[in-house]
Chain A
Amino acid sequence: MLDTRVAQSTIDHAIALGADFAEVFVERNQVNNIATVSNQVRDIASGIDFGVGVRLVYGAKVLYGYTNRTDAEELRRIVSELAAKDRRDPAVSAQAFDFRTAADIHGAQRTLSKDSEVRDKVDYLFAADRAARAASNLISQTQGACGQREQAVEVFNSDGVHIRDTRHYIRARLQAVASNGSDQATGMQTDGGLLGWEIVETLDPKACGAEAARQALVNLSAKPCPSGRMPVVIGNGFGGVIFHEACGHLLETTSVAKKASVFHDKQGRMIANPVVNAVDDGTLEREWGSINIDDEGMPTERTQLIKDGKLVSFLADRLGAEQTGLPRTGSGRRQSYRFAPASRMRNTFIEPGTASFDDMIASIDRGVYASHMGGGSVQPGTGEFNFAVTEGYYVEDGKIRHPVKAATLISTGPDVLKQISMVGSDFALATGMCGSVSGMVPTTVGQATLKVDDILVGGNA
Chain B
Amino acid sequence: MVATVETNAQRVLDRVIAAGALGDLVVQEESSLSLKAHDGELEEHKVTSTRVYGVRVVKDDRAGIAYSEAADPAALDSMVEQAFVNATFSRVDPAESVATGDTILVTDDASLCPDDPTTVEAKIAAALYLERELTARDKVRNVPYNGVQDATVERHVFATTGRTAHSRDRVCSAFAYALLSDGDKDALEGVQSHTRRFDEIDTAWIVDETYQRCVAMLHGEALPSKHYDVLFDVEHQADLFAVFHDMFSGKSARDGINPLRDKVGERIAVDALTVRDAPLNADGLGYALFDDEGLPTTTTTLVDGGVLRTLVHNSATATHFDVPNTRHANRSPRGPLGVGLHQLEVAPGNVDETALTSGEYLEIVDLAGLHSGGNPVSGDFSYGAAGFLCRDGERIRPVRNITVAGNFYEMLNKIDAIGDTQHWNPERSALMARIRFADVAISG
A44 touches B186 (CB 8 A): no
Q: Which has the most chain A C-beta neighbours within 10 Å: B42, B225, B382?
A: B382
* A5 at interface by CB-CB < 8 Å: no
Among the listed A35, A340, A387, which residue makes an inter-chain contact with B369, where contact means beta carbons less than 8 Å apart?
Answer: A387
B373 touches A62 (CB 8 A): no
Complex Cα distance, B43 from A225, in Å, reads: 45
A278-299 toward B: CB 8 Å interface, digit per residue (1/0)?
0000000000000000000000
Among the listed B44, B86, B222, B403, which residue makes an inter-chain contact with A62, where contact means beta carbons less than 8 Å apart?
Answer: B44
Complex Cα distance, B255 from A406, in Å, reads: 23
- Chain A residue at minimum C-beta to C-beta distance from B75: A48
A384 touches B384 (CB 8 A): yes
Query: CB-CB < 8 A to A272: which residues of B?
Result: none
* A183 at interface by CB-CB < 8 Å: yes
Q: A45-B335, A460-B407 are in contact. Are A60 and B383 (CB under 8 A)?
A: no
Residues of A135-164 whose CB lies within 8 A of B: 140-141, 143
B396 to chain A, nearest CB (A): 21
A340 touches B401 (CB 8 A): no
Q: A68-B69, A387-B372, A460-B382 are in contact. Are A61 and B90 (CB under 8 A)?
A: no
Query: CB-CB < 8 A to A417: which residues of B?
Result: none
B93 to chain A, nearest CB (A): 8
B407 touches A64 (CB 8 A): no
Among the listed A47, A185, A405, A458, which residue makes an inter-chain contact with B67, where contact means beta carbons less than 8 Å apart?
Answer: A47
Among the listed B41, B48, B141, B378, which residue makes an inter-chain contact with A66, where contact means beta carbons less than 8 Å apart?
Answer: B48
Among the listed B50, B79, B124, B407, which residue makes an inter-chain contact with A338, where contact means beta carbons less than 8 Å apart?
Answer: B50
B405 touches A51 (CB 8 A): no
B436 to chain A, nearest CB (A): 18
B41 touches A406 (CB 8 A): no
Q: A35-B336, A260-B144, A379-B188 are in contact. Are A44 and B378 (CB under 8 A)?
A: no
* B305 at interface by CB-CB < 8 Å: no
Query: CB-CB < 8 A to B69: which residues of A?
Result: 47-51, 68
B51 to chain A, nearest CB (A): 7
B64 touches A377 (CB 8 A): no
- Chain B residue at minimum C-beta to C-beta distance from A54: B47
* B195 at interface by CB-CB < 8 Å: no
Among the listed A85, A184, A456, which residue makes an inter-chain contact with B403, where contact means beta carbons less than 8 Å apart?
Answer: A456
Query: CB-CB < 8 A to A59: which residues of B?
Result: 41
* B66 at interface by CB-CB < 8 Å: yes
B443 touches A66 (CB 8 A): no
Q: Which has the most chain B C-beta neighbours within 10 Å: A38, A46, A405, A457?
A: A46
B382 touches A381 (CB 8 A): no
Q: A141-B255, A379-B188, A408-B383 are in contact. Are A82 and B405 (CB under 8 A)?
A: no
Which residues of chain B have a CB within 8 Å of any CB of chain A?
38-39, 41-52, 54, 63-71, 75, 79, 82, 86, 89-91, 120-121, 124, 141-142, 144, 179, 186-188, 222, 225, 255-257, 259, 334-336, 368-369, 371-373, 375, 377-378, 380-384, 400-407, 441, 443-444
**Contacts beyond the supplied A60-B41, A379-B368, A407-B382: 10 A-B pairs with Cβ under 8 Å:** A35-B336, A44-B86, A47-B54, A47-B68, A51-B50, A65-B46, A219-B378, A377-B372, A382-B186, A458-B441
A-B contact pairs, 19 of them (CB 8 A): A31-B334, A41-B91, A44-B90, A45-B336, A61-B43, A62-B44, A177-B257, A177-B377, A183-B378, A228-B444, A376-B369, A381-B188, A384-B368, A386-B368, A386-B372, A406-B405, A408-B382, A456-B443, A458-B441
